[in-house]
Amino acid sequence: MQKYPETKFDLQLVKDGDDFEFSKKDGKVSYFHKINNAFENREVIGGYCIIKNKLGDFIELLGKDELEKIRKTAKTDYIWKQWTNEMYLKTIIKRACKRHFKDAVVEIEEEDNKNYDLENVLDGDIKIKQEIEECKNLEELKKYYNDKKEGISNENIKMFNSTMAKRKNALSREGISNENI
């Protein structure tokens, strides 16, 4: 944001039961967000990003339906499962920047992509990683391994073996062997 160093962002999720109102008049965004029952586990109903700088005031709103629609197109659903609220926030701010800082979006995308090594997982291997995580016991894991090991490319065998070992260790720590969860 070197071009707009004075920019102020307010990025928040709105949860069921919160009070949220906004208006935009003469280019100025006014909003009110009262977070009710802050420490209760409540459903996210949407989110917003308010941007204020010398160019003006901007607001980006995304409801849960739209956030979930974006999630369904993601190739990294296992990250969404573990970090849903963070991924919602990331989606909202990326959308806001894409709309209001078109000149900076390329740099943001490049920086964002640097943060995802995903243990060198390729698109096709994300499905395999998810399937391994879904194995409920060591017997299922062994069967999965025997069924899939021949079809894994040489480039991805390290990721496959690493993911299998992590899942096996997790199941063993939980005391799960041949019994279902």
Q: How many domains does the chain divide into?
A: 2
- Given pLDDT bands bounded at 50, 70 and 90, which one contains residue 76? confident
- What's this model's pTM, rounded to 2 decimal places? 0.60
28 part of a folded domain: yes
Indicate whether 87 and 134 sit together in one domain.
no
Mean pLDDT of 77-84: 88
Range of the domain at 109: 8-114
Same domain, 29 and 109: yes
CA distances from 104 to 57, 100, 101, 141, 162 (A): 17, 9, 5, 45, 37
Least confident of 52-61, 120-129, 143-152: 120-129
Looking at the fold, whether 91 and 125 belong to one and the same domain comes out as: no
3 state DSSP class of 106: helix
| DSSP H or E segment with residue 169 | helix 157-173
pLDDT of residue 9: 94
Q: Name the least confident of 27-31, 113-117, 164-168.
A: 113-117
- Please identify, among 114, 130, 153, the residue that sits at the C-terminal boundary of a domain: 114
Q: What is the pLDDT of residues 91-132, one digit of tens each?
A: 999 999 888 877 665 565 666 655 554 444 445 566 777 777
Q: Does one domain contain both 67 and 141?
A: no
Q: Please answer whether residues 167 and 141 qualify as being in contact, where contact means their C-beta atoms are separated by less than 8 angstroms.
A: yes
**Residue at 77: amino acid letter:** D
Domain boundary among 64, 96, 114: 114
Q: Which of 132, 131, 136, 15 is nearest to 84 (CA)?
A: 15
